[in-house]
Amino acid sequence: MATSFALSPHSTLARFLRWGTAALRLLPAETAHDVGMWLLERQMMNRLPLPLPSITGLIEGMSAHLPGIGDLAHPIGLAAGFDKNARAPRGFAEMGLSFLEIGTITPRPQAGNPKPRLFRLDDQAGLINRMGFNSDGAERVAERLRRLHWQHEPVPMGINLGKNKDTDASAAIEDYSFGIETFAPYAKYFVINVSSPNTEGLRGLANEQFLRELAFRHRADLHRIWVKLDPDMPRRAFQSLVSALSDAGFQGLLLSNTHRVDLPEKGGMSGHPLAAQATACLEWAHEVLGDRLPIIASGGILSGQDVFQRIARGASAVQIYTSLVYRGPLTVLWMLQELRAEMDLRGYRFLSDVKGSYYKDA
């Protein structure tokens, strides 16, 4: 790595942004999120007192490819849940993320669960959320995207879809179909969310019959439809569903969503406490699929070393959320520096050679 692209944690810019991140964490979690979104919506990264360092030289050899999505400058993208309503895609792109996922979006607007519903676990670098798909609704978000005129080169944007809380499971397919049809002109890819623990009955849709029916109904779009699974399924059931999704023709998998917990708060756990389960899901999927279906890894990815380990276990790319809360606006830069250092340490020049190496070296 060329030293000109490294940013010292002791630099003036790093100290300034670290102070700002720490200040936000003095606020209640959802309030801090709202403030962060307000700043990103106004593209405040462009107004910093010092210029951001370029990652251009840093990412040499780190390109990734996601079928149905395209070529990425590097493997780190934004997970769903941070920008639920397409308020700040330009702000997130300025942070250096290589692809974005907006949502979860429901067909009709809904407020989500009562507050408080987002909690930090500072001593574990984790979060618990029970947001409950708070959404502006598909039509309003689609209008926002229409005005945005997003160009998917160089940063592709996907849409994560869910059902409304009051939609019965028997009619849930209509909610997902509505989302696919509404966002077809704007999304590079779709993610079917049947894995959040915060909408009653949602995880029950993660079954072969429902997903095969959805695949049949939208077979013309399957080349850009991914499915996000939860990490709480027993291994055998998980592997059976993964195999069925591959047979049904879905483009790929996201592994994984949050881990359902009741303590210290009820909701979905993300961040470091999720890492082991999410990594196990990758290994289980690889055991069934090999390289037959591309995978985006998510859950507990807080460092470049974490990125390396998920790619080594077969992921084509990763998504982050909680790491942005704890590491701040320079998260992507830090993680790319760490990933480069890990690749150098292990003798890898190209990220493509890292993919699946965990199994080859076993």
Nearest by Cα to 136 from 105, 167, 160, 158? 105
Q: Please state, in angstroms and rounded to a whole number, the distance separating the CA atoms of residues 65 and 72.
A: 6
> Token pair of 118, please?
């987002």
How many residues appear in the chain? 362
Point out which residues pair with 77 in neighbouring strands.
319
* Token pair 């990734």: residue: 64
Q: What is the mean pLDDT of residues 346-361?
A: 94
* Token pair 């995978």: residue: 295
Whether pLDDT at 1 is above 50: no
pLDDT category at 362 given cuts 50, 70, 90 is low
pLDDT of 2 reads 31
196 part of the active site: yes
Q: Please state, in angstroms and rounded to a whole number, the distance separating the CA atoms of residues 242 and 141.
A: 30
For the chain, the domains span: 3-360
Catalytic residue among 98, 196, 298, 303: 196
> Token pair of 134, please?
């708070």
Percentage of the chain beyond pLDDT 70 is 93
* Token pair 């050679």: residue: 353
pLDDT of 6 reads 53
Q: What is the mean pLDDT of residues 293-321?
A: 98
pLDDT of 51 reads 56
pLDDT tens digits along 15-72: 766 777 778 888 999 999 999 999 999 987 776 655 566 788 889 999 999 999 999 9
Q: Which residues contact 308 (CB under 8 A, 6 or more apart)?
A: 339, 342, 343, 346, 354
pLDDT tens digits along 199-256: 999 999 999 999 999 999 999 999 999 999 999 999 999 999 999 999 999 999 999 9
Q: Please state, in angstroms and rounded to a whole number, the distance separating the CA atoms of residues 207 and 310.
A: 25
Number of CB atoms found within 10 A of residue 122's CB: 10
pLDDT of 13 reads 63
Percentage of the chain beyond pLDDT 90 is 85
Q: Which amino acid is at 81?
A: G
> Token pair of 145, please?
């995207």
Nearest by Cα to 324 from 32, 57, 28, 4? 32
* Token pair 């592994």: residue: 255
The angle formed by the CA atoms of residues 113, 114 and 118, to the nearest 5 degrees, is 80
Question: Among the CATH numbers 3.30.70.920, 3.30.70.100, 3.20.20.70, 3.90.180.10, which is that of 3-360?
Answer: 3.20.20.70
Q: What is the mean pLDDT of residues 315-338?
A: 94
Q: Please state, in angstroms and rounded to a whole number, the distance separating the CA atoms of residues 90 and 107.
A: 24
Report the chain's mean pLDDT, rounded to a whole number. Answer: 93
Whether pLDDT at 140 is above 80: yes
> Token pair of 309, please?
């380990």
pLDDT of 3 reads 31
Q: Please state, in angstroms and rounded to a whole number, the distance separating the CA atoms of residues 142 and 203.
A: 26
